[in-house]
Amino acid sequence: MTHFLDIHKTDPAALRRMIDDARTMKGARDGRPHGATDDEQPLAGRMVALIFEKPSTRTRVSFDVGVRQMGGQTMVLSGADMQLGHGETISDTARVLSRYVDLVMIRTFDESVLTEMAEHADVPVINGLTDRTHPCQIMADVMTYEEHRGPIAGRKVVWSGDGNNVCASWLHAAGQFGFDFTFTGPAPLDPEGEFVGLARQKGSRVAIERDPAVAAEGADLIVTDTWVSMHDSQSAKERRHNMLRPYQVNDALMARAKPDALFMHCLPAHREEEVTNAVMDGPASVVFDEAENRLHAQKAIMRWCLGV
């Protein structure tokens, strides 16, 4: 079964094909209304289940639109609809869904829900996000970087802030796409050592640098994400803000990077917290290209999973 669970679990050649296919499909839609279907209809007659235990805007809309553009249909299910692992075991849910649909995308909290779903499903499963990783986002990010600046191999990517699930998938991508990665943030929020080790084993230079100004020197790309989760308590939010304030991406930090460096953020952004308005809306920012490319990258991932 061809699942897309994490970037480091997918062959680098397959990842490259997906990026290339995404760019081809995007180019083929040039000038076409967003609601129009693609000339090719590789998902015609296919049903895709989109499961959201965790709320979403970009993931939900981009997958839904992508399936429809390719001629398929979607069934959107929330955690409340399914009660995953509560009313019915995840393994039984996976077996049942496999009798109804051709593909499952799941956005969940615990990584074990994703892995158990994939273990027992008879159809491909895509990781739409877990608390540990967010591979679809980084596929769109790599696509976006290469649209603007060419191959990402050999480049320096700097992550400023919290070593969260998006940061983890950037580390996975570093090893698979061959770029270097520097994390700058407070020690309590370092990325998992396992993920750092995976990138280094693949030959990527990975650095942990506490001083954001030093970290940003010579960067080709600076990336950040929100400092707090919607589930954090007010006291937890205040603690995190205090820890992360020195790692805000602002004009001074961007000035340390290369003159043609780009800025990325997976959105939603808390403006004037992790990033200033000047950077978000400035010439280095490609955040809205990233958001659009979720659509194209995920279409390529779905086609790869289904072999169509």
List residues with catalytic annotation: 107, 134, 137, 225, 266, 294
Q: Which helix (H) or strand (E) holds 265?
A: strand 262-265
Tokens of 22: 């995404």
- The number of C-alpha atoms within 13 Å of 38 and in the hemisphere containing its C-beta is 24
| CA 300 – CA 22 distance, rounded (Å) | 5
What is 110-121 written as a DSSP string? SHHHHHHHHHH-
Tokens of 185: 């943030």
> How far apart, in Å, are the Cα atoms of 4 and each of 7, 16, 55, 115, 181?
8, 14, 20, 11, 23
| CA 82 – CA 47 distance, rounded (Å) | 18
> Phi and psi of 76, rounded to 5°?
-95, 125
What is 72-141 written as a DSSP string? -EEEEEEHHHH-BTTTB-HHHHHHHHHTT-SEEEEE-SSHHHHHHHHHH-SS-EEEEE-SS--HHHHHHH
